[in-house]
Structure 1
Amino acid sequence: MKIATTIFILFLTINFLSCKGNAREWETTEKKIEISKTTKGTLPESIGIINDYGIVFTEPQRAELSKILYDYDIETTRQIVVVTIDSIKPYDNIHRYATDLGQNWGVGTAEKNNGLTIVLCKPCRQIGIATGYGTELVLTDEICKNVIEEKIIPEFKNDEFYLGIKKGVLALIEKWK
């Protein structure tokens, strides 16, 4: 079991260090249309601020996390969306998936571009955080990477996925002040 845990940690660390988690605006309208056509059939529809497609959380956990995120959104107009999924196919990069998902769903306000999308693919053993331009002015790639490594992964190692996400969300909120 320790070998499996070590391999899991190593895999997550390599994934996080090799990927950049910024949401970027597309340079041309043509690219937006092209990406939209490509992702339209592969990205799920948003069902709210918590999109637990991977069925990772219990109902009370979803309710608690929803309250945290809705209260934060009302207080600040900054929107954080949490998504759990079973696959990122046809993507091979969870950060790109999170970025496209956040842009496709319109996470955050358009004028401030202040959204943050957290995507967990438990079967893939990957997590990605994508930020809008307005968000990344405060929550840099380095900060997001540190939150993943210091708050989220330690809980994931103990199969505490909800606790990892909750601690990560609270840390990001704290750093976003």
Structure 2
Amino acid sequence: MRNFQYFLLLTLLTTFGCNSQSQKSTPQRTTYSNVPELYARVNDYADILSDDEEANLNQLLKSLEDSIGSQLVILSIVSLDERTIEEYSIDVADNWRIGRANYNDGIIITLAMKDRMIRIEVGYGLELIIRDEIAKKIIDSTMIPEFRTGNFNAGLTKASEKIINLIYSNPELVGKKWEPNNNGK
């Protein structure tokens, strides 16, 4: 019997480990190490813009930050490397920390050229102004028609202007988060 107890104890220690530290099982979000470096408001890693176009877009995006404080950043990449555009954009947003922390008022426009994907990732502090359906409409009606003709600068400029104008039109909503009403509707 003693040998059986010793065998059972040895089996349990081997199976569960012999560790004096507590082992907590905490869920962790997968992050990707190949998030590009943030170098400007326009980060053109896919090389779709000329230097002048990039400079003009940077100035447009800077005007929003200078006047309201919200930040809008553009990222073009070649490929998502088999990830979804949503996952990639959230990884970039988490890594770059666009927007003011106490307002959570950052927006990232991500273009993945090879995958032909576009996403407008909106911080919680701007969701009352730019809801998902508004972001989708900007992509569908403003960006895609210009991109189809190869005019990436026009598509990005027009989309940025629409986003900036929406924020300018609703400065009192910047930093306020959407909350479901209490009556269950």
The TM-score normalised by the length of structure 2 is 0.73
Distance 1:71 1:121 in 2: 26
Is residue 49 from structure 1 mapped to residue 41 from structure 2 by the alignment?
yes
The equivalent residue for 2:75 is 83
The equivalent residue for 2:149 is 158
The equivalent residue for 1:60 is 52
1:38 maps to amino acid: T
1:83 aligned counterpart, secondary structure: strand
The TM-score normalised by the length of structure 1 is 0.77
Displacement over 2 Å in runs of 4+: none
Is residue 142 from structure 1 mapped to residue 133 from structure 2 by the alignment?
yes
RMSD of aligned Cα (Å):
1.4
User: 1:95–1:129: 8 Å Cα contact kept in structure 2?
Assistant: no
Deviation of the 1:142 alpha carbon? 0.6
Distance 1:99 1:158 in 2: 28
5+ residue gaps in structure 2?
Answer: 1-25, 170-185
- Of Structure 1 and Structure 2, which has the larger fraction of its residues in helix? 1
Equivalent pairs counted in the alignment come to: 143
User: 2:143–2:155: 8 Å Cα contact kept in structure 1?
Assistant: yes
The structure having more radius of gyration, on CA atoms, is 2
Deviation of the 1:99 alpha carbon? 1.9
Is residue 127 from structure 1 mapped to residue 114 from structure 2 by the alignment?
no
Distance 1:174 1:96 in 2: 27
1:145 maps to amino acid: K
1:83 maps to amino acid: L
Distance 1:139 1:104 in 2: 22
2:148 maps to amino acid: K
2:31 aligned counterpart, secondary structure: helix
Deviation of the 1:122 alpha carbon? 1.4
1:171 aligned counterpart, secondary structure: helix
2:134 maps to amino acid: I
The equivalent residue for 1:25 is none
User: 1:50–1:81: 8 Å Cα contact kept in structure 2?
Assistant: yes
Residues 24-51 of structure 1, C-alpha deviations (whole Å, 9 max, x = no match): xxxxxx65xx44x632x12112112111
Distance 1:137 1:174 in 2: 14
User: Which structure exhibits the higher relative contact order, with contacts defined as CA atoms closer than 8 Å and separated by 6 or more residues?
Assistant: 1
Residues 62-118 of structure 1, C-alpha deviations (whole Å, 9 max, x = no match): 000000001111101000000000111251x11221122112100000000000000
1:151 maps to amino acid: T
Deviation of the 1:172 alpha carbon? 1.1
1:103 aligned counterpart, secondary structure: helix
Choose from 53, 62, 67 the match for 1:70: 62
Distance 1:142 1:175 in 2: 14
2:161 maps to amino acid: L
